[in-house]
């Protein structure tokens, strides 16, 4: 694919204290993400849009962002650039909720410039989320890198990025293709089921519909659905129930309890309903974590199975 393509541009107004880096950080799988780059204050995102391949470039210029799209899907991605940058994120009644808890009030002020993105692009995030099921972050990042480089194609535009794997290409391969990526049969089959119905999933009207459709797919539970809807739809209430760390983090931060269950986490987050994921994101942004006891989760190599 040629990197020479027409450009579409758009200027976006940003609120006071807006942080581009903080707002798009959840869209970056890891350092050297083949599909995403944040460098020198500029953000680049390669995507497969409904109108074709595209690369979005977001650059800060004073009180505005300049959004530039490259490729056949340039118009689509620039039209959505404000959502991808988190500028459609409405805080609503969250400031009043946050004020009731000293820690959350402080974090809401500290990270006031961070907004939740809503890409409108599901399959890329779904692929990441399936790889992240029940393994360490290091394992998931390695699998993601290998899969993108196996399926990816050069993205349009002036920077060297790869397009995320195309759902149809993923659906067409047998499960054992993913073994060298460190992904065992169970997760691979869940991903293949998602790839088969990816077009319908991308057409979900909102996070609630997407959650219903995703969790109806064998191998996709509420944790995976929440990870996907949080950045695809900017769902500020999508709590990752079943996470290895988050229940402990929430219990420690909000109640001083070093260990917590999903039930206790949801109980503590209830006063923030509508913004429960936003609270979890604030705790993560602040680097808050429960005390560690015992060994870390072991790193396994499914590539050798």
Residue 298, pLDDT score:
52
Q: Based on the domain organization, do 126 and 215 belong to the same domain?
A: yes
> Could you count the other beta carbons within 10 Å of the beta carbon of residue 92?
11
Residue 16 in domain = yes
- Using only the alpha carbons of the chain, give its radius of gyration: 19
Residue 294, pLDDT score:
55
Phi, psi of 45 (to 5 degrees): -135, 120
Q: Based on the domain organization, do 195 and 252 belong to the same domain?
A: no
Residue 23 in domain = yes
Measure the CA–CA gap between 300 and 305, rounded to whole angstroms: 10
Residue 40 in domain = yes
The 3-state DSSP class for residue 56 equals strand
Domain with residue 215: its CATH number is 1.10.340.30
The answer to whether the beta carbons of residues 286 and 106 sit under 8 Å apart is no
Residue 31, pLDDT score:
81
The 3-state DSSP class for residue 37 equals strand
| Dihedral (CA of 101, 104, 106, 109) sign | negative
Residue 229 in domain = no
Residue 252 in domain = yes
Q: Based on the domain organization, do 195 and 137 belong to the same domain?
A: yes
Q: List the domain range (segments joined by +) for residue 47.
A: 7-89
Q: Based on the domain organization, do 78 and 154 belong to the same domain?
A: no
Hey, what are 186's tokens?
């169970």
Q: Based on the domain organization, do 209 and 280 belong to the same domain?
A: no
Hey, what are 47's tokens?
């995507």
Which ranges of 19-121 does DSSP label H, i.e. alpha helix? 20-24, 74-79, 81-84, 94-98, 102-110
Domain with residue 79: its CATH number is 3.30.70
Residue 69 in domain = yes
Overall domain count for the chain = 3
Q: Based on the domain organization, do 216 and 250 belong to the same domain?
A: no
The answer to whether the beta carbons of residues 27 and 45 sit under 8 Å apart is yes
Hey, what are 196's tokens?
């088969």
Picking from 153, 155, 161, 157, the residue whose alpha carbon sits closest to that of residue 7 is 157
Q: Based on the domain organization, do 14 and 77 belong to the same domain?
A: yes
Convert the pLDDT of each residue in 234-290 to its tens digit. 999 999 999 999 999 999 999 999 999 999 999 999 999 999 999 999 999 999 999
Element counts in the chain: helices (H) and strands (E): 15, 5
Q: Based on the domain organization, do 252 and 214 belong to the same domain?
A: no
Residue 215, pLDDT score:
98
The answer to whether the beta carbons of residues 134 and 126 sit under 8 Å apart is no
Residue 6, pLDDT score:
72
Measure the CA–CA gap between 172 and 125, rounded to whole angstroms: 19
Residue 30, pLDDT score:
82
Q: Based on the domain organization, do 126 and 214 belong to the same domain?
A: yes
Q: Which residues of the chain are modeled with pLDDT < 50?
A: 1-4, 297, 299, 304-305
Measure the CA–CA gap between 209 and 130, rounded to whole angstroms: 19
Q: Based on the domain organization, do 132 and 183 belong to the same domain?
A: yes
Hey, what are 207's tokens?
């996070």
Residue 196 in domain = yes
Residue keyed to tokens 């209430």: 237
Give, to the nearest 10 degrees, the angle between helix 102-110 and helix 246-255: 110
Q: Based on the domain organization, do 203 and 251 belong to the same domain?
A: no
Q: Based on the domain organization, do 138 and 54 belong to the same domain?
A: no
Q: What pairs with residue 60 in β-bridges?
A: 65
Residue 52 in domain = yes
């Amino acid at each position: 694919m040629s990197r020479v393509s027409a450009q579409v541009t758009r200027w976006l107004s940003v609120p006071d204290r807006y942080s581009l880096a903080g707002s798009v950080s959840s869209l970056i799988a890891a350092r050297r993400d083949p599909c995403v780059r944040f460098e020198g204050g500029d953000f680049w995102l390669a995507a497969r849009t409904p109108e074709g391949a595209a690369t979005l470039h977001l650059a800060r210029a004073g009180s505005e962002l300049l959004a530039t799209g490259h490729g056949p899907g340039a118009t689509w991605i620039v039209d959505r650039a404000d959502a991808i940058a988190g500028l459609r994120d409405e805080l609503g009644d969250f400031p009043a909720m946050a004020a009731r808890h000293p820690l959350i009030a402080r974090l809401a002020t500290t990270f006031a410039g961070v907004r939740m993105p809503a890409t409108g692009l599901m399959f890329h995030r779904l692929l990441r989320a399936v790889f992240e099921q029940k393994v360490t972050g290091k394992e998931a990042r390695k699998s993601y890198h290998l899969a993108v480089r196996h399926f990816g194609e050069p993205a349009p535009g002036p920077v060297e990025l790869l397009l995320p794997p195309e759902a149809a290409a993923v659906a067409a391969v047998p499960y054992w293709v993913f073994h060298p990526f460190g992904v065992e049969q169970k997760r691979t089959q869940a991903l293949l089921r998602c790839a088969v119905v990816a077009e319908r999933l991308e057409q979900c009207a909102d996070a609630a519909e997407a959650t219903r459709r995703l969790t109806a797919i064998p191998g996709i539970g509420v944790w995976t659905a929440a990870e996907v809807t949080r950045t695809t739809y900017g769902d500020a209430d999508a709590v990752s129930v079943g996470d290895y760390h988050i229940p402990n983090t929430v219990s420690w931060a909000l109640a001083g309890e070093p260990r917590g269950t999903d039930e206790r986490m949801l109980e503590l987050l209830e006063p923030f309903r509508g913004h429960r994921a936003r609270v979890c994101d604030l705790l993560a942004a602040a680097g808050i974590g429960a005390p560690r006891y015992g060994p870390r989760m072991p790193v396994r190599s499914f590539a050798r199975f």
